[in-house]
Structure 1
């Protein structure tokens, strides 16, 4: 009875994180994916399912989580392979994947994945190994760990509180923005010190790699290892030689690894393609995903089970085909203030799982920083109650180029299923309306 009560309460007491939303999205699907990405933040920031859906026709999901080590990825993979057998799994691996410094920060990051996974033998074994005996109760129970947080409980399935910088789709999650010189100086200072050459992997690190290979072999699912682009590769001897040791070991095990850091120039990656020096942003993920999709198409047999209905929620499909199906679209005429500011068309459309998105086509030559007000109400708004409002600044530096057109992207993350009187307008003396829509049901 006590265990049952704790299991119930664990769905209310938890420390929130991206992986909760990813797993809810995964659980809401029918899980018959052709292609699945697993691993850490390099994976969920780099590999955009939209690109693989469009280029390969493959039903795709990104099941990665921040700061996830390979020992924890093993538990995710165990869950995945019990429920589905994709045509290909892609696992991002680099030095952090194998770093098991057993301190509180490391354990907290791993619980950020493990907390949201269903109970399993693999999960239990991992917790037993990761935590000393006296920490087992709190490691297994979020309620025991966060019981003091009574005034901040919420359902496991509650919407995740993304900020508007995020670009999210089927587990893929990164920022649309790029970093500044201050962030780069901090990064450079951190990685300049990491100059110790790595000459070989430890026996434990090899065991972790062997275990994940064996799991996929047992389930007859092809596994492709990749190493996503990271600026640290080019300034840190430690980071680069670690990657080289991982590559050498995987090749000795007859595994395929694609180190995308070696293709930086081919990909044309610049500062503008990173949200921070370690992670790609939307624009960088687009380039890398297109490259990887071509590689997968040339080297693997992948199913093509993505449906037309799902593609109509795919930003790049809509852009490629001229937005054939949207909630509403507005053309900004030459006599309008918006046209003068560089606005050409605005499209509102559904994207994955209770999200909507605005793609504002702009003329890159005349478009400049533009402040806007976005607001909408909910069905249960009381008379006179304020609508949801947020100020948005559209920055030319964050414009996305696709199919020779340029777009400012705004992703909305409503917390309720029905929206009323959605309105986007300029924050200027004219308050000109960019787009309106009376009613939306997510």
Structure 2
């Protein structure tokens, strides 16, 4: 009797396992199809297209032709115009900043730069918000879309991806889910407004242009929208007391410092300015500044914070910003020229 019961249960288990296997086999094509569909959304992002052009131009440069390279997040490519530096310093520079670039992706970007170039100076933009996360997959995806170095990608994944992010990165349905829904949500919103002739009364369209120009730089003559002065300003609830300097990102900053030392490169840290009105909302900014400044001093890295410089000297007005956090070209000219003097005065570039 027990033998018959065992045989019956065994057969049921086998049937269940077979059903699970069949289900998984049927599910794989669906997951693959959705993953491909999701991944296509990332190619529609105009900022990604700027980044593709940036790296395309970089890879087409003559070997060892650069004297200075700019690295960092969007605050880098919205602050430093290489053409201004080249003209005033008689050098050849290039802007390699990328959206959301954390120190970990900055480190791997620099490693790739050094495979082709031997710059004398590296200017690294330091934006405090990106120093708080141990890992952020979106910024890595942005880099991997344009990085022509599979060995470096594998090293990054093997050495520095948390296990959960390795799984997510290798599964398109999870990897590009955020890109897809952001893109589709925007598309559906446009269609609904067009169909029902709905006009957005709260947000005005920016007048002007934003375009990739040259040497990695993105030109813009936009001016900050009225809503960003108050209603939608992202800095309204920011308190420096809550700033946490990630040990992981500190370690990558140290790796960048050591990589520059090994290659006899002068490294400079810079914090790009946010809009004047944005700074008025931030509480205890001195805590953020002091933590970054202390780290720079401990490692003998020159550091300039343009939020403090702007408060002290009023270099900029809100009209010099394209949004609440990024300069337009009028502001870029002011900061680039000020930074050129900083480089000269500190003998970073004679």
Counterpart of 2:157 (choices 122, 127, 143) is 127
My pick for the range that moved more, 178-187 or 218-227, is 178-187
User: In the superposition, relative to structure 1, how do residues 134 and 230 fare at CA in structure 2: closer, same or farther (>3 Å)?
Assistant: closer
My pick for the range that moved more, 80-89 or 194-203, is 194-203
Counterpart of 1:292 (choices 318, 328, 339) is 339
Q: Where do 1:58-97 residues align within 5 Å?
A: 58-97=91-130
Counterpart of 1:227 (choices 247, 271, 276) is 271
Which structure carries more helix by proportion? Answer: 2
Q: Is the 1:87–1:301 Cα contact (8 Å) retained in structure 2?
A: no
- 1:265-288 CA distances to partner (integer Å, 9 max, x unpaired)? 535200110001100001000100
User: In the superposition, relative to structure 1, how do residues 139 and 302 fare at CA in structure 2: closer, same or farther (>3 Å)?
Assistant: same
Aligned to 2:90: 57
- After TM superposition, the runs of 4+ consecutive aligned structure 1 residues lying more than 4 A away are 129-135, 140-146
Q: Is the 1:45–1:172 Cα contact (8 Å) retained in structure 2?
A: yes
- Output the CA distance in 1 between the equivalents of 2:117 and 2:104: 20
Structure 2: tracts of 5 or more residues without a match: 1-35, 181-207
- 1:89-138 CA distances to partner (integer Å, 9 max, x unpaired)? 10001212313265xxx312321112211225543233235545476477
Q: Where do 1:380-391 residues align within 5 Å?
A: none
Q: Where do 1:113-124 residues align within 5 Å?
A: 113-119=143-149, 121-124=151-154
Select the structure with the greater relative contact order (CA < 8 A; seq sep ≥ 6): 2
Structure 1: tracts of 5 or more residues without a match: 1-8, 150-162, 304-442
User: In the superposition, relative to structure 1, how do residues 194 and 302 fare at CA in structure 2: closer, same or farther (>3 Å)?
Assistant: closer
Counterpart of 1:271 (choices 306, 318, 327) is 318
- 1:355-393 CA distances to partner (integer Å, 9 max, x unpaired)? xxxxxxxxxxxxxxxxxxxxxxxxxxxxxxxxxxxxxxx
- Output the CA distance in 2 between the equivalents of 1:238 and 1:282: 29
Q: Is the 2:239–2:282 Cα contact (8 Å) retained in structure 1?
A: yes
Counterpart of 1:261 (choices 282, 288, 307) is 307
- Output the CA distance in 2 between the equivalents of 1:230 and 1:181: 16
- Output the CA distance in 2 between the equivalents of 1:182 and 1:69: 28
Matched, 1:15 2:42: yes
Matched, 1:173 2:218: yes
Q: Secondary structure at the match of 1:83?
A: coil
Q: Secondary structure at the match of 1:86?
A: coil
Instruction: Answer with 1 or 2: which has the greater Rg.
Output: 2
- Output the CA distance in 2 between the equivalents of 1:77 and 1:26: 12
Counterpart of 1:28 (choices 40, 57, 60) is 60
Q: Is the 1:174–1:282 Cα contact (8 Å) retained in structure 2?
A: yes
Q: Is the 1:226–1:257 Cα contact (8 Å) retained in structure 2?
A: yes
User: In the superposition, relative to structure 1, how do residues 68 and 111 fare at CA in structure 2: closer, same or farther (>3 Å)?
Assistant: same
Matched, 1:209 2:253: yes
- Output the CA distance in 2 between the equivalents of 1:260 and 1:118: 33
Counterpart of 2:228 (choices 171, 174, 183) is 183
Q: Secondary structure at the match of 1:20?
A: helix
Q: Secondary structure at the match of 1:191?
A: coil
- Output the CA distance in 2 between the equivalents of 1:141 and 1:84: 34
Aligned to 1:98: 131
Q: Secondary structure at the match of 1:192?
A: coil
Counterpart of 1:194 (choices 238, 251, 254) is 238
- Output the CA distance in 2 between the equivalents of 1:243 and 1:127: 31
Q: Secondary structure at the match of 2:268?
A: strand
Aligned to 1:250: 296
Shift of 1:198: 5.0
- Output the CA distance in 1 between the equivalents of 2:320 and 2:121: 26
Aligned to 2:79: 46
How many aligned positions are there? 275
